[in-house]
Amino acid sequence: MNTPLSPHGAAFADSVSPGAAARLRVVLVGTQHPGNIGAAARALKTMGLARLVLVAPEDYPADEAYRRAAGADDLLGDALVVDTLADAVADCHLVLGCTARSRRVQLEEHAPRQAAALAIGRAAAGGEVALVFGRERTGLSNEELQLCHAAVHIPANPEYSSLNLAAAVQVLAYELRIALLDGVPVAEPVPVHPDEVPASHAHLEGFFTQLGDTLDAIDFHKGRAPDSAMRKLRRLFAKADLNEQEVRLLRGILADAQRMARLAGGGAGSLS
């Protein structure tokens, strides 16, 4: 399912840069305790945020979620439930994955304040932004983190760094609010030239799938596991901040490389 998630109505009750706030969503992946979903909804509402997306929650809908939402039932009722993280962020231009374990992945890592500034900046420029939180027991899987453009780590006690899920949501929601109150321009984004529309998450994932297939076709990995190279390539292209036209150009090059590999014999190994 790749349904684009339409922006919710006015996300900030007090109209602080409402355009930017409405382009922020919080995504909870595989939440195990419904109480945490309710508490996260409450955390968002206190900070004036409104968009919650639930990826395959284990036990939902549930009374406990509504009990812990304590008046944020509207936000909970509006929460979208989707099957996969890829579905939740398909139309996003910036995806930030919150992780309790620092430097676990080869992703650029930000502290919450930097992450909030990035998120608000991107949303104010017209981009859709997601903040992604993992499961209570196991956090986000490596595959899920690979779908994120950067990681966010709350610099907690290194010996006890894992916050309760809803507490982590509260910290990030607070930083988002402060970043908005601190004065991100309220003006609506300037129109982007059609050639420079930023690539959405779904566009980039299509590119990465084709890149992976091409590397196989040209026998780039030579028996090594492809994961490490793909992680580095993802990181490299995340830094490039590609627009749609650039993705099309790169995919054209890959298509030609795939065609040449087929002409050269159709199989990995036959090129050597």
Which positions lie near ligand SAH, rule CB under 6 A?
98-101, 133-134, 136-140, 152-154, 156, 161-163, 165, 168
Residue 156 or 197 with smaller CB distance to ligand SAH = 156
**Residue number with CB closer to ligand SAH (136 or 205):** 136
Backbone angles phi, psi at 74, to 5 degrees: -60, -45
Measured from the CB atom, the residue of 51 and 203 that comes closer to ligand SAH is: 51
Which of 182, 180, 170 lies closest to 45, judged by CA?
Answer: 170
b (16+ CB within 10 A) / e for 170-204: bbbbebbbebbeeebeeeeeeeeeeeeebbbbbbb
Q: How far is the CB of 159 from ligand SAH (least distance, A)?
A: 12
CB distance 31 to 39 below 8 Å = no
Nearer to ligand SAH, 79 or 100 (CB): 100
Minimum Å gap between C-beta 153 and ligand SAH is: 5
Our CB check for ligand SAH shows the closer of 40 and 184 to be: 40
Which DSSP helix (H) or strand (E) runs through 176? helix 165-181
Q: Is the dihedral of CA 109, 113, 114, 115 positive or negative?
A: positive
Nearest alpha-carbon partner for 75 in 89, 94, 59, 54: 54
